[in-house]
Amino acid sequence: MTDWQFPQKPVDLAEKQLLEAILDGSFPVGSSLPAERELAQQLGITRPTLRETLQRLSRDGWITIHQGKPTLVNDYWREGNLIMLNALAGHPSQQNSDFIQDLLEVRCLLAPVYTELAVKNAADDLAAYLTPLTQLPDAAEVYAAADPDLHHQLTVLSGNPVYTLIYNGFRELAYKSSLIYFQQKEARDYSSDFYQGLLLDARNEDSASARARTERVMRASIDFWNQSSHLPG
């Protein structure tokens, strides 16, 4: 073990275990968690560690602790927040085509707006960022890394940090799905055209064109995903 590698703390491991148990349905929505002593034994941790773990999950909205009553698993699909979105996006059981398509639908609604704002507020910075993207090597891994980073940059340049917070909630999943999406050369070519067109919009400071262009591409990306999600691997 090198100097910078440290074992996870028991509370971190316990939090991960409990979160996985909630997401995989071992502790389904609306159910009660086992009594404190029993749950601590199941997780192999002390009761003080369990209490700290439960407080963390309660803080983030996964459970509701009632003094003297069973701890309930919340309906995170109805009562969730941005913190939960990041956990959902990173959990294998949630990484199915329907969930990814739902995220793409959200991006399709948001991306045209934050792209328009990025051109309005920081056209020169956006043009400088886009210039190297118009000369990317034709490789799925390259585009899979570049595309989520571009959307993150667009949210930052929009000037509205809420867009960045929302996008960060599923940025990791955006990268993972992009690895599949960009296996298609047609998808890479289409995105390359998008980067070049968006660069022209930025140089012309044409925010309306940038918004319309992004809306077309985001809608097309959903169609591409519906095809690519059936590819092997």
Tokens of 89: 């996006």
Mark which of 80, 104, 133 sits at the end of a domain.
80
Position 3 scores a pLDDT of 47
Domain that holds residue 169: 95-228
Same domain, 217 and 117: yes
Q: What is the pLDDT of residue 221?
A: 86
> If you write DSSP's letter for every residue of 121-178 in order, what string do you get?
HHHHHHHHHHGGGGG--S-HHHHHHHHHHHHHHHHHHTT-HHHHHHHHTTHHHHHHHH
pLDDT recorded at residue 141: 95
Q: Is 209 part of a structural domain of the chain?
A: yes
What is the domain count for the chain?
2
- List per-residue pLDDT tens for the chain, 233 residues long: 444 455 578 899 999 899 999 988 899 999 999 999 999 999 999 999 999 999 999 998 999 998 889 999 999 888 887 778 777 766 766 666 677 788 888 889 999 999 999 999 999 999 999 999 999 999 999 999 999 999 999 999 999 999 999 898 888 878 888 888 898 899 999 999 999 999 999 999 999 999 999 999 999 888 887 776 544 44
CATH number at residue 112: 1.20.120.530
Name the token pair of 62: 């996964």
Residue 166 lies inside a defined structural domain of this protein:
yes
